[in-house]
Amino acid sequence: MKDVAGKVAFITGAASGMGLGMARAFSAAGMKVMLGDIQKDPLDSAVAELKGQGREVEGVVVDVTDRDSVFAAADATIAAFGKVHVCVNNAGVGASGSAESTSEKNWRWTIDVNMWGVVWGLQAFMPLIESHGEGGHVVNTASMAGMFSFRDLSAYNASKYAVVAMSETAMAEHQKDNIGVSVLCPGVVATNLGTSARNRGDDYGGATDKKSEQMMEMLKKGLNPDIVGEQVLEAIVDDQPYIFTDPGLRSLIQGRFDRILGGYDWADQCEALKNVDQQGGIDL
Ligand SMILES: NC(=O)c1ccc[n+]([C@@H]2O[C@H](COP(=O)([O-])OP(=O)(O)OC[C@H]3O[C@@H](n4cnc5c(N)ncnc54)[C@H](O)[C@@H]3O)[C@@H](O)[C@H]2O)c1
């Protein structure tokens, strides 16, 4: 999307961290922005900050785990700005632990916010972007944890691999129309992710201010989220599908792909496949 000025964007998780960074960058570039977040007070402050700078923004309280809430946010966006061109499914939470040590409630919370939040965002907003024919862009926030499986982050890794998969599927589906799709895979960014259980609903075990000091220390040293906001805007203009924020982590992905391809090297000399002739067989 070369020309963003005057276009309308909806962003989830926009009251804090990278979502707020994007709202700042998009509105500074002349976009009209609907900020969505589950936390009303920080959302109101973010909207007030941007309105105070003369930006065209509004806010809507949304819980991305709830389909009706996301569809209501889409209605609010259309009511405020008439149409929508850009949707950023960014809201996310982080629970740590191995698959077996993570409680069922934390598993469901992580998957409901990080994966279902993107599903509802795509279902509510993609038809609206398609409907006006002016083109647009969708950004889904995954993580480096959607490209590489970090230890003690099983539910988070699983949720973010799902976001990468949905994004790549949408890229393939929208190859020929005027709608770009990007997946944001940040490294460490200095946000409030370490306290994301502040927003955990009662169905998932309730809110807590418990946090991992190790995670807080790591996040503190991360990239400024406003820089990520500017990078995402640049990716939308450039129609860049993969957005990596930390080039120093390239070797993690390279190493993973090398290990995966090692599976083919082994299959090439595997006894069970010795006399079998296969030609691919998946119709793309
Ligand atoms: N910070 C990092 O190092 C890092 C790295 C990779 C990926 N990410 C991803 O970036 C995204 C943004 O997180 P952040 O790091 O800016 O953290 P953050 O906590 O600063 O911001 C996340 C925002 O999402 C909102 N939110 C949480 N649950 C919600 C729900 N159910 N409905 C609507 N909004 C909800 C929070 O209120 C918060 O404002 C997340 O998807 C996260 O997984 C973060």
pLDDT, position 214: 83
pLDDT, position 279: 77
**Residue bearing tokens 């998932």:** 204
Nearest-atom index, ligand 1, CA of 218: 3
pLDDT, position 50: 98
pLDDT score of 190 more than 80: yes
pLDDT, position 9: 99
Tell me which residues are annotated as active site: 156
Nearest-atom index, ligand 1, CA of 14: 39
What is the arithmetic mean of pLDDT over 51-79? 98
0.95 exceeded by the pTM? yes
Q: How confident is the model at residue 211 (pLDDT cuts 50, 70, 90)?
A: confident
Per DSSP bridges, beta strands 179-185 and 242-244 are parallel
Please give the structure tokens belonging to residue 197: 């259980």
What is the arithmetic mean of pLDDT over 259-271? 97
Burial (0-12, 13-18, 19+ Cβ within 10 Å), 11? buried
Mutate to test the pocket of ligand 1, among 10, 11, 12, 18 (most ligand atoms within 8 A of CB): 18
Ligand 1 centroid to Cα of residue 260, in Å, is 30
Ligand 1 centroid to Cα of residue 191, in Å, is 8
Q: How confident is the model at residue 185 (pLDDT cuts 50, 70, 90)?
A: very high
pLDDT, position 162: 98
pLDDT tens-digit series, residues 101-144 = 999 999 999 999 999 999 999 999 999 999 999 999 999 999 99
Q: Which domains does the chain have, with CATH numbers?
A: 8-248 (3.40.50.720)
Backbone φ and ψ for 146, nearest 5 degrees, come out as -95, 0
Q: What lines the ligand 1 site, CB under 6 Å?
A: 12-13, 15-19, 37-39, 62-65, 90-94, 113, 141, 143, 186, 188-189, 191-193, 196, 199, 219, 222, 225
Ligand 1 centroid to Cα of residue 12, in Å, is 9
Nearest-atom index, ligand 1, CA of 223: 3
Of 277 and 23, more confident: 23
Mean pLDDT across the chain = 96
pLDDT score of 213 more than 90: no
Q: Say how far apart CA 184 and CA 265 lie, in whole Å.
A: 31
